[in-house]
Structure 1
């Protein structure tokens, strides 16, 4: 019986390599037949997601570009008019709008394409948890490594959005001061008073003093003799300010009448009168120089003497010399009988044959 069972086992047909290949092909065909619909559906979904993302990105960037162009056209339309003098200049508005548009376009592209990429990964049944965790760790590492760059970029974005300063403004940034010639997201360029260009990182600016926004104040101190008629001086200065306000080009630069604020300081020989006027932004220095010039000529014409440094000879304080200053201090050497004087007396020469002390 054992031999018969063995012979029966040996007579069973064994699978060949051809049979295995055919079976594998059949299984693969069945697997493809079962999943082709899923692949087709996922592929169409991915293509649709990418098309929607690209279309949204194009439309949003185009809308932002048109908005920025409209802002620039509005700035150019009012430039050179009375309204334009109250607003920021066209170049400043153009650079500010272009910077804002660049930031908005970059943010829109990042958000749209990033969302599309995550959606495609979710369609492919890829677990996003490890990817997001790795991205978070990488973001923290990059943030620590490039924190200065990130700080400069964020500071530049907020400076532009808040319109803290712009091209043509004169600012004091703490680390440097001068006229703004270019505003960037990372660096601001300033032109100093001597012509030098300062490159100031936006993240290093802790405070900003803008001398060109809103309005400026021109202040002039007039120092006259203490015995002058102050009412007459006030009248002359007020009349001079009115004449200057009616003249060109000062009629546009002076926004209010010249005001005599009063006495800023009182001395024994002179008084200082404070004069102030509200001017166009950035024109205060020129107004101060012209106002000093006109006030000096007007006071000279009225015979009112201006006191400066050095003082006039008749106003200088007479210094009386102290008679005791030439008297020498008491000294022990002044007394010939004092031990100090005797010690400094030269020893007489010794005469041969004459005893010492004789």
Structure 2
């Protein structure tokens, strides 16, 4: 008897047209809200990228590093806000009391805030990192033991990718000491080894001739390269040092190019680069007998 009543109730509910219409309307609202949120996020992110891609003219100084960082940050903030509004709208479509939910979320957020001091510290530190432009996306930095290119700066975490592929993720509150290699120009340092048999004055003149043509060949060099002179005297060679001011983080590539070209330049002019040698001394039989007799006496 109970089974028949349950089946009857199920059939009554299933045949209720008003219920199905209401569910269909709610279903359409959920789909519409979701689609609108996704499209709106994509459109707003595109507008942000377009806005920051345009060179801003005015009395304020804007640079590409700061624009790229702010672009990514604003894109993330827009996504969070739009999706939050979408979730609230979906809950409202299911006739859930949003006012009570928001009030409860506020109280819960206040309670969580007291317990999540590290999270609050990360957000505040992230804000000041971006506001003070300590480093930006694309900069080459050293944070603690990690060294690499900044991939992303958020309000809570910062991501740094090493040149070998590792991705370091730092909570912003844990970032204490930062070395930024991308703000100022770099210095390429090249040491060239010369043999003691070479004429040092002539070698210096040849190197100066080579350095005078560097800035024309390498656009990364900002100022004319300098020959500092003799850097060191070792047991086998004379070490001469060259420096060149380059664009930020271009000193490694420029130093490699200078070493290669300078080596070819000196080879063509007969300047010898020292390398390890072995001197073999072979005594004649007469000298060996004289030495043996002297030892016996």
Which bracket does the TM-score occupy, shorter chain normalised? 0.5 to 0.7
Shift of 1:217: 0.8
Instruction: Report if the CA contact (8 A) 2:72-2:152 is conserved.
Output: no
Matches within 5 A, 1:1-358: 72-74=53-55, 88-89=63-64, 92-96=66-70, 99=73, 142=112, 145-247=115-217, 250=218, 252-307=219-274, 311-313=276-278
Structure 1 gap ranges (5+): 1-65, 78-85, 107-134, 315-358
- Change over 3 Å in CA distance of 1:227–1:205 after alignment to 2: farther
Q: TM-score of the superposition, structure 2-length normalised?
A: 0.59
Distance in 1, Cα, partners of 2:159 & 2:72: 17
Distance in 2, Cα, partners of 1:178 & 1:264: 31
Q: Cα RMSD (Å) of the superposition?
A: 3.6
- Change over 3 Å in CA distance of 1:102–1:228 after alignment to 2: same
Query: Per-residue CA shift, 1:200-231, capped at 9, x if unaligned?
Result: 22222211111111211111111212342222
- Change over 3 Å in CA distance of 1:101–1:154 after alignment to 2: farther
Shift of 1:286: 0.7
Instruction: Report if the CA contact (8 A) 1:172-1:208 is conserved.
Output: yes
Q: SS at 1:294's partner residue?
A: helix
Q: SS at 1:74's partner residue?
A: coil
Shift of 1:99: 3.1
Q: SS at 1:206's partner residue?
A: coil
User: Structure with the greater relative contact order (CA < 8 A, sep ≥ 6): 1 or 2?
Assistant: 2
Distance in 2, Cα, partners of 1:261 & 1:161: 40
Distance in 2, Cα, partners of 1:175 & 1:204: 13
Instruction: Report if the CA contact (8 A) 1:72-1:97 is conserved.
Output: no
Deviates most, 141-150 or 92-101: 92-101
Shift of 1:268: 3.1
Instruction: Report if the CA contact (8 A) 2:183-2:248 is conserved.
Output: yes
- Change over 3 Å in CA distance of 1:197–1:275 after alignment to 2: same
- Change over 3 Å in CA distance of 1:301–1:207 after alignment to 2: same
Q: SS at 1:313's partner residue?
A: coil
Instruction: Report if the CA contact (8 A) 2:214-2:224 is conserved.
Output: no
Shift of 1:70: 5.9
Distance in 2, Cα, partners of 1:242 & 1:312: 33
Instruction: Report if the CA contact (8 A) 1:219-1:288 is conserved.
Output: yes
- Change over 3 Å in CA distance of 1:144–1:240 after alignment to 2: farther
Shift of 1:185: 1.6
Q: SS at 1:219's partner residue?
A: strand
Q: SS at 1:253's partner residue?
A: coil
Shift of 1:101: 9.3
Structure 2 gap ranges (5+): 1-46, 81-106, 280-297
Shift of 1:93: 1.4
Distance in 2, Cα, partners of 1:298 & 1:144: 68
Alignment correspondent of 1:80: none
Instruction: Report if the CA contact (8 A) 2:140-2:149 is conserved.
Output: yes
Instruction: Report if the CA contact (8 A) 1:99-1:160 is conserved.
Output: no
